[in-house]
A and B are shown apart, each in its own frame.
Chain A
């Protein structure tokens, strides 16, 4: 079986046992790799109701068959675990070159189990795997951790690590590799709970493919697409979206009290490029180089490339219109290891809560949560990362903060299943209304994708008849992408939904002869396996919903004024979506469908 490194590495932090098993062909054919393997191992290895921050939870770090090849976007890696933020299934993906090096070291996935008794890091150097003492890395931020590990080892190791937020188990602490985050759902807190500060890897082995000539041929055929599509990402990175989405009228602003930001131009990709840009940076095997390194004017030593999502979450959502503040906040979030989306929306929740008088009896650690308060945003990063004062509260995320405040606070808590949504409106984009609500993760824009709907006019957006299918098709592409593993930003050149391009890549690399229909079934199986995990945790149709505001308050301003997603409309879309997936009316996959997918054994475990 070409394409695969051939081994799965198991690291037990409780016992110190290190085990290597062959990657089975049956597993590969059913679950492909990356998050596919992660979903299967998470379901099989954890008990119902597993404590996300306990020793029984697992962390599955994944590469896929495409990882380590030269295909555009093949540098990405994935992590699967149970989320402490949502209490459900979580997957994340991250750029850089870690996953490629994992393949070169000889592994398709790492499954971390147990809990160490003191802070550790895992070193993987080809066949050598060691669990090492990390006491000298304790409390260090992610930049310093990576630097220190490089000093201990050498510059050809690549490192995944957590910062103080992960060690302090902020519920949306992230994992950082280079300057890139595996951001969503508190995967960093799971690392922290396991006392796992970092994993570092180096490898010198080959990635062999089944048909190299065909790979080059199919790559060459796509070069004209690569050279013309997605150039805005090369020139400006994802921040190009600030002005585009704001003009469309669906840029989350002031905690979604509005969806147009009057200061959007001040935090735009164009301004970032003109006034702060230093250089482009590419992930491994990427032709886009969408990462931008931007410097703060007030302190040029602080450089970071805030993505669109960070500019939305900490910028328009909090009413902050200063790029210097946002660059510094973004850099600090990366250093502490904090997800900028959940953090930004937690701060915007606090700002609206203060406005509504919901924080009157709270000790706010001296912070004033007025809209647009720059100092508050920056100080809140530190307090959240260190779990100090009001930071310990902010680090709970919007769902839990609203629970603790009680009353009507839930009406301003912007999350789906506990995960704060990305900057693609659940009111102005019906694909995201249904996509977010059914997402196994919650408010993720990398299950269903918004890209297609941004290209269509309002009247077609309001028509819900085709949106469940659009959410289904785009989620099948992104699930394949996270299993293969390939960056979702190559969708512009290779296909916004699953296409024969992706089928060719798999067949060329692995040597199979599968069809588009069979590849779609692999994605569907992985997504349904993830759903089974959630259903076993008690998640049902009742949980497939949107934030109260998205379902009850229409967009008050701009070109999409009046759009929202009331329960009745969502119900219609849920029925259509469940049917496409072969899930029952209650949102639980049917026994018949699970047996068709070859995972019938999951059915009994999901019953109440």
Chain B
């Protein structure tokens, strides 16, 4: 499976990734609508990122009642049209990597921007990259 990899040593916490993600997917700037989230580890003072891990045995797919989530081309795909906004997958995700926003009736999950991967493209410090196993 492929996923977004992260180098905490390179990340400066500028959140450009969150901004381009929300702009790409929702057409607005709003980190609360991003599919990738940065958070600071208070103990080390460094940043971590949270985004869909594209698990090999995804629990989100198991619980999804509408088949809005499925595996294809080595990644967990999401069909927004099928999503009924029940948020069961959000609770099921062991990494807390699926997000919601009160304005939106669907979940926010990394879909690699249909291959564009803007978070990686616009990261000023190359802290994000594609990881594959």
Contacts and interface: CB of A to CB of B under 8 A. Distances in A.
Interface of A: 68-70, 97, 104, 204-209, 212, 216, 226, 278-289, 293
Interface stretch (B8-16, B66-74, B77-85): B8-16
Contacts of B20: 70
Contacts of B46: 279
User: Which 8 pairs of residues, A with B, have the shortest CB-CB distance?
Assistant: A282-B12, A70-B19, A289-B12, A282-B14, A206-B28, A287-B124, A207-B29, A204-B32
Main secondary structure of the interface of A (DSSP, over half): loop
Nearest to A215: B23
Contact of A282 (B13, B28, B30): B13
A285 B27 CA distance: 17
A285 B21 CA distance: 13
Given A69-B19, A288-B124, 12 more contacts: A68-B29, A69-B29, A70-B16, A70-B29, A104-B30, A208-B29, A212-B27, A281-B12, A282-B13, A282-B14, A284-B15, A293-B45
B32 A104 contact: yes
A558 B44 CA distance: 44
Contacts of B14: 282-287, 289
B35 to A, nearest CB: 15
A206 B30 contact: yes
Q: Find the residue from B14, B16, B31, B125 having the highest chain A CB count within 10 A.
A: B14
Interface in B1-42: 12-16, 19-20, 23, 26-33
Interface of B: 12-16, 19-20, 23, 26-33, 45-46, 101-102, 122, 124-125
B18 to A, nearest CB: 9
B110 to A, nearest CB: 18
Nearest to B40: A155
Contacts, number: 63
A205 B12 contact: no
Given A70-B122, A289-B125, A206 B13 contact: no
20 contacts: A69-B29, A70-B19, A70-B20, A104-B31, A104-B32, A204-B30, A206-B28, A206-B30, A206-B33, A212-B27, A216-B23, A280-B12, A281-B13, A282-B12, A282-B14, A285-B19, A286-B14, A288-B124, A289-B12, A289-B14
A212 B118 CA distance: 14
Contacts of B33: 206
Nearest to A70: B19
Contacts of A280: 12
A97 B38 CA distance: 13
B23 A212 contact: yes
Contact of B16 (A104, A207, A281, A285): A285
A196 B18 CA distance: 32
A233 to B, nearest CB: 12
A70 B124 CA distance: 12
A526 to B, nearest CB: 25
Contacts of A293: 45
A4 to B, nearest CB: 13
Contacts of B23: 70, 212, 216
Contacts of B13: 281-282
Nearest to B29: A207
Contact of B28 (A207, A279, A287): A207
Contacts of B28: 206-209
A283 B29 CA distance: 16
B12 A285 contact: no
Contacts of B101: 204
A208 B45 CA distance: 32
A604 B13 CA distance: 49
A97 B33 CA distance: 17
A209 B45 CA distance: 33
A506 to B, nearest CB: 15
Contacts of A226: 124
A279 B13 CA distance: 11
Contacts of A204: 30, 32, 101-102
A285 B125 contact: no
A161 to B, nearest CB: 18
Nearest to A509: B29
Nearest to B32: A204
A70 B15 CA distance: 9
Given A204-B30, A204-B102, A287-B124, A279 B45 contact: yes
B25 to A, nearest CB: 12
B15 A285 contact: yes
B12 A209 contact: no
A95 to B, nearest CB: 11
Contacts of B125: 289
Contacts of A279: 45-46
Nearest to A97: B15
A105 to B, nearest CB: 11
